Structure 1
Amino acid sequence: MLRSEPHSHLWPGVPLALASAVLFGASTPLSKILLGSVDPQLLAGLLYVGAGMGLALVHFGRAAVGLPAPEAPLRAADIPWLAAVVLFGGLLGPLLLMLGLARTNAASAALLLNFEGLATMAIAWMAFRENVDRRLFLGALAILAGAAILAWKGQGVALDAGALLVIAACVAWGIDNNLTRKLSSADPLMIALIKGLVAGAANVGIALAQGQAFPSATITAEAAVLGFLGIGVSLVFFILALRHLGTARTAAYFSLAPFVGVLLAIVLLREPLSIRLAVAGALMGFGLWMHLSERHEHEHEHDALEHEHAHRHDAHHQHAHDGPVTEPHSHWHRHDPVLHTHPHYPDLHHRHRHSHG
């Protein structure tokens, strides 16, 4: 029997994006601690290898105990997008971040990571024409103002080499996030698994070829666990959030990550809580609130669409099956044209154009 369940447009995308942010935000100061014992490029590789191996265990464990995997598989057409995601998000992004962390303090680097959200939104808005309304735009400006205050050095804004490397990492991840949107209907665990193993192995191989040596077994294990949670699980949640929120909104909610990083940097690394840091954090917090309080609703028309992804029989999935089914489930299905009004984000079923943003 088909059913239509009312649900908030905030669920489950917003909790998934925030959980992703918390996990990734915690990884920044913890990575800073490990950098005292590991080369930056080798650490970037170990983090992503740890993510890939951890997710591989989850994947094979799922299969071993007979749990269903109701996600759409990756297809041949996805390979070019996946390769680009691995390059920008798995190779360049983490390498640039580790190099930047080695040259700046963890709290400043954590707040500068807000540029990832800005880069992601700018690319989503300009390149992919995703709707960005006034609240989202003003929130982005507040985050940018906070980052500018953070970079203020006496007579002007002076971005040192470490800060510039962190910002470059954010741009790489901004490109990565928008490309990952193309894959968000497929199995997020498999996407993150492949990204972690391929990108991680490449960075580890390059570091070893340059003469770097593996750290102790304890440090290696700590990097692997940190990578599994802070990179792997976080990325799975992020891809699922992309499915429900679209790129710009997921990036907006993900802006919580730097605040988690700053808090841990102050607590664990005894870094000072300066007035400048507090003002920057307040502005970024206001920007995040603007994003959280956004409500997007208007009459919109869905064109006919055929695709595959994990789904339940909700308002957008009213199709018949030959026999009983479990939910969620995944199969190729068709959406007939429909015109209706409800709060929504640019998710898999609401990627329509807007006359203004």
Structure 2
Amino acid sequence: MVGFGPSCALLAALLFGVSTPLAKLLIADLSPWMLAGVLYLGSGLGLAAFRLARRLSGAAARAERGVSGGEWGWLLAAVAAGGVAGPVLLMVGLTGTAASTASLLLNLESVLTALLAWLAFREAADRRLVLGMAAIVAGAVALSWPGEGPGEGVAAVSGGWGALAIAGACLMWALDNNLTRKVSLADPVDIAMIKGLVAGSVNVALALALGDRLPPPALMATAMAVGLLGYGVSLALFVLALRWIGAARTGAYFSTAPFVGALLSLPLFGEPVTVRLLVAAGLMGFGLWLHLTEAHDHEHEHGPLEHDHPHRHDAHHQHDHAGLSLPPLPADGVHSHPHHHTPLRHSHPHYPDAHHGHAH
């Protein structure tokens, strides 16, 4: 049975993968920069409407908490890196790079996400995880490798400054993924909404400054609907996955999105089933199998910890609510409030989540 964290990451990849060929249908009528802005705005405004409806519904107090304190610094840095710098570098890179080369280079995001998670943010890694990551990325590379038409092939991978700009965009998105992991205990809807509103506003403003015009209402609504699902809901699920399984594993699962997009492109654009697609499917399937069958289980020690996140009273949460002014527990037992963890040593299967950031 697939765990909750991997399920969120795979569903996020599915939604984003579906949005890619749909966005391709829209690019004929919108500039890349305006399209990126409208997609982000659609995610931000759509999630803001959902958040408002949830608040007005009078339902029981939500388990999720808002962004607070020092988390704002991490979130704003993530938005600046992934929502502003990343798209700008991508647009700059596309002006001097072949589309086939750009597709190939965009696979760097998952690799850089994992490397930053392992080297800079000290997430645990083992041979099985690294091998699975390599297989998934190899599948993505096979999927986007340029063909042998005029000007294509291996030689097309060289792209000079344009390729460097696209690689820089991937680095910004990888940094965004890891920084977002720092705030993943907060409400994922709030995080995705803030990212969408800020990134969308900035990118639309830049597009207008460069001479673009806002699209007609029907086209605007269509693009925003695609953005809500492919960027908004997908990002909220991505944040949940970050919370449960860490940045490296989430990035690995999410890198299956190009395969989803390629499958949808078959009926949508009448594209043929190719050897390249079959090879990509085999490699990604092997990588996913390695990750989904991962069993990371050893004795580990939890030090004292104070934080606030949605939780049940499980093995890691044995506190009482004496002296706390809290609403009655919901039916599923999930609730959120500041709580303290006392030192604990035990053994069970686990991922590098908020309670398992220990060294190996």
TM value normalised by structure 1: 0.88
Secondary structure of the equivalent of 1:178? helix
1:334 to partner: Cα distance: 0.5
Deviates further, 76-85 or 30-39: 76-85
Looking at structure 1, the residues matched to 167 and 24 of structure 2 have their Cα atoms a distance apart, in angstroms, of: 17
CA contact (8 A) 2:107 2:141 kept: no
- State the partner residue of 1:5: none
Would you say the 8 A contact 1:192–1:235 is kept in 2? Answer: yes
**Partner in structure 2 of residue 343 of structure 1:** 349
Cα distance in 2 between the residues matched to 1:118 and 1:175:
11
The answer to whether the 8 Å contact 1:89/1:173 transfers is: yes
CA distance in 2, matches of 1:182, 1:142: 27
Q: Deviations over 1:204-230 (max 9, x none)?
A: 001001110112211111110011110
Q: Show the counterpart of 1:332.
A: 338
Q: Which moved further from structure 2: 64-73 or 28-37?
A: 64-73
Distance in 1 of aligned mates of 2:146 and 2:225: 35
CA apart distance, 1:48:
0.6
Note the 1:199-210 alignment, pairs <5 A.
199-210=199-210
Equivalent residues of 1:307, 1:334 under 8 A apart: yes
Give the AA of the match of 1:336.
Answer: T
The unaligned stretches of length 5 or more in structure 2 are none
- Structure 2 equivalent of residue 125 of structure 1: 118
Q: Percent identity?
A: 53
- Hey, what's the Cα distance between the residues in 2 that align with 1:84 and 1:151? 32
How big is the alpha-carbon RMSD for the aligned residues of Structure 1 and Structure 2? 2.5
Q: What do residues 222-281 of structure 1 show as CA deviations (whole Å, max 9, x unaligned)?
A: 110011110011111111111111111111222221211111122212234332343234
Unaligned runs of 5+ in 1: 1-7
1:159 partnered with 2:163:
no
1:94-124 deviations in whole A, cap 9, x for unaligned? 4555777895379x93x76543222211110
Tell me if the contact between 1:26 and 1:260 (Cα under 8 Å) persists in the aligned partners: yes
1:46 to 28, 34, 38: 38
Residues 143 and 287 in structure 1, CA contact (< 8 A), matched pair in contact too: yes
CA shift, 1:77, in A, is: 1.0
Q: How many Å separate the matches in 2 of 1:236 and 1:332?
A: 22
Alpha carbons 1:51, 1:196 under 8 Å: kept: yes
The aligned residue for residue 32 of structure 1 is: 24
1:63 to 55, 64, 68: 55
> How far off its partner does 1:145 sit?
3.3
The number of equivalent residue pairs is 344
Does the 8 A contact of 1:21 with 1:253 survive in 2?
yes
C-alpha displacement of 1:168: 4.5
Contact 1:308 1:333 survives alignment (8 Å): yes
Stretch moving more, 166-175 or 49-58 = 166-175
CA distance in 1, matches of 2:26, 2:269: 12
Shift of 1:169: 3.8
